[in-house]
Chains A and B, each alone.
Chain A
Amino acid sequence: MKVKVISRSADEFTRERSQDLQRVYHNYDPNLRPQEKGVEYVRALNAAKLEKIFARPFIGAMDGHIDAVSCMAKNPNYLRGLFSGSMDGDIRLWDIASRRTVCHYPGHQGAVRGLTVSTDGHVMVSCGVDCTVRLWNVPVATLTDSDDSPDNSAEPLATYVWKNAFWAVDHQWDGDLFATAGGQVDIWNHNRSQPVNSFQWGTDTVISIKFNPGEPNVLATSASDRSIVLYDLRMSSPARKVIMRTRTNAISWNPMEPMNFTAANEDCNCYSYDTRKLEEAKCVHMGHESAVMDIDYSPTGREFVTGSYDRTIRIFQYNGGRSREIYHTKRMQRVFCVKFSCDASYVISGSDDTNLRLWKAKASEQLGVLHPRERRKHEYHEAIKNRYKHLPEVKRIVRHRHLPRPIYKAAALRRTMMEAERRKVERRKAHSTPGSILTAPLRKRRIIKEIE
Chain B
Amino acid sequence: MGANEDDGIREHILPPIEQGLYTTVEISDELDTKAKKYLRGEGADLKDLKDKKLKGQLAVREELYGKSAKAAAKVEKWLLPSEGGYLEAEGIEKTWRIKQESIAREVDILSSRNQYDIVLPELGPYTLDFTSSGRYMAAAGRKGHLAVVDMKNMNVIKEIQVRETVRDVVFLHNELFFAAAQKKYPYIYNQEGTELHCLKEHGAVLRLQFLRNHFLLASVNKSGQLHYQDVTTGEMVGNFRTGFGRTDVMQVNPYNGVVALGHSGGTVTMWKPTTSAPLVKMLCHPGPISALAFHPNGHLMATSGKEKKIKIWDLRKFEVLQSIPVNAKCLDFSQKGLLAVGSGSFVQILGDLSGSQNYSRYMGHSMSKGYQIGKVRFRPYEDVLGIGHSMGWSSILIPGSGEPNFDSWVANPFETSKQRREKEVRSLLDKLPPETIMLEPSKIGTMRPARKKEKPNKQEREAEMEAAIEDVKSITLKKKTKGRNKPSKRAKKMQELVAKTKRPFMEQQSKEEQASAKKRQKLSEQVELPSSLQRFARKKLTI
Contacts and interface: CB of A to CB of B under 8 A. Distances in A.
Given A1-B102, A8-B413, A38 B441 contact: yes
Nearest to B90: A1
A452 interface: no
Interface in B256-272: 256-257
A22 B102 contact: no
Interface in B118-150: none
B26 to A, nearest CB: 22
B107 interface: yes
Interface stretch (B199-207, B239-247, B427-435, B485-493): B427-435
Contacts, number: 153
A25 B407 contact: yes
Interface string A35-55: 101111111001000000000
A6 B404 contact: yes
Given A35-B256, A38-B436, A6 B38 contact: no
Contacts of A28: 38, 72, 75-76, 407
A6 B382 contact: yes
B445 A31 contact: no
Nearest to B432: A38
A39 B437 CA distance: 11
Contacts of B443: 37
Interface stretch (B81-89, B169-177, B464-472, B473-481): B81-89
A162 interface: no
A68 B412 CA distance: 63
Contacts of B526: 434
A7 B37 contact: no
A151 B408 CA distance: 62
A388 B88 CA distance: 47
Interface stretch (A9-17, A220-228, A230-238, A296-304): A9-17
Given A1-B98, A22-B419, A433 B531 contact: yes
Interface string A421-452: 00000000000011110000000000000000
A46 B429 CA distance: 8
For chain A, give the interface size range: 35 or more
Given A3-B106, A7-B111, A35 B213 contact: yes
Nearest to A387: B445
Given A7-B107, A10-B414, A13-B414, A388 B445 contact: yes
B38 A26 contact: no
Contacts of A25: 80-81, 405-408
A37 B437 CA distance: 11
Most buried by A among B38, B255, B381, B405: B405
B297 interface: yes
A22 B416 contact: yes
A4 interface: yes
Contacts of B102: 1
Most buried by B among A4, A6, A8, A31: A6
A30 B38 contact: yes
B5 interface: no
Nearest to B86: A4
Contact of A9 (B88, B110, B416): B110
A434 B532 CA distance: 10
A3 B86 contact: yes
A2 B297 contact: no
B106 A1 contact: yes
B402 A6 contact: yes
Nearest to B84: A6
Interface in B526-540: 526, 531, 534
Contacts of B87: 1-3
Nearest to A26: B407
A2 B408 contact: no
Contacts of B447: 390
A450 to B, nearest CB: 29
Contact of A30 (B40, B85, B86, B431): B40
A32 interface: yes
Given A26-B407, A38-B441, A3 B88 contact: yes
A436 B256 CA distance: 60
Nearest to B296: A31
B444 A38 contact: yes
A29 B381 contact: no
B93 interface: yes
B383 interface: yes
B399 interface: yes
A319 to B, nearest CB: 11
A29 B419 CA distance: 21
A27 interface: yes
A24 interface: yes
Given A3-B87, A6-B82, A35-B257, A24 B436 contact: no
A79 interface: no
A4 B534 CA distance: 89
A5 interface: yes
Contacts of A31: 296-297, 335
B48 interface: no
A30 B65 CA distance: 14
Nearest to A433: B531
A43 B382 contact: no
A38 B408 contact: no
B403 A29 contact: yes
A282 to B, nearest CB: 16
A42 B445 CA distance: 11
Contacts of A3: 85-88, 98, 103, 106-107, 399
A400 interface: no
A31 B298 CA distance: 9
A26 B75 contact: yes
A6 B407 contact: no
B297 A38 contact: no
A30 B405 CA distance: 13
Interface in A371-409: 387-388, 390-391
Nearest to B80: A27
B330 interface: no
Contact of B445 (A10, A391, A435): A391
A434 B397 contact: no
A24 B408 contact: yes
A218 to B, nearest CB: 31
B531 A39 contact: no
A2 B79 CA distance: 25
Contacts of A22: 416, 419
A34 interface: yes
Contact of A6 (B76, B256, B383, B414): B383
A41 B88 contact: no
A330 interface: no
A192 interface: no
A5 B445 contact: no
Contact of A5 (B81, B383, B433, B442): B383
A35 B432 contact: yes
Given A3-B87, A4-B86, A10-B152, A35 B441 contact: yes
B319 to A, nearest CB: 22
A33 interface: yes
Contacts of B83: 4
A279 to B, nearest CB: 24
Contacts of A2: 86-88, 90
Contacts of A8: 82, 413-414
Given A3-B107, A28-B72, A37 B444 contact: yes
Contacts of B404: 6
B54 to A, nearest CB: 12
B388 to A, nearest CB: 21
Given A6-B404, A42-B436, 17 more contacts: A1-B87, A1-B102, A6-B85, A8-B414, A13-B413, A13-B414, A23-B408, A23-B414, A27-B76, A29-B403, A29-B405, A32-B407, A35-B255, A35-B257, A37-B441, A387-B445, A433-B534
18 contacts: A1-B90, A4-B86, A6-B82, A7-B107, A7-B108, A23-B408, A25-B81, A27-B403, A29-B37, A30-B37, A31-B297, A32-B403, A34-B441, A35-B213, A38-B441, A42-B430, A387-B445, A436-B531
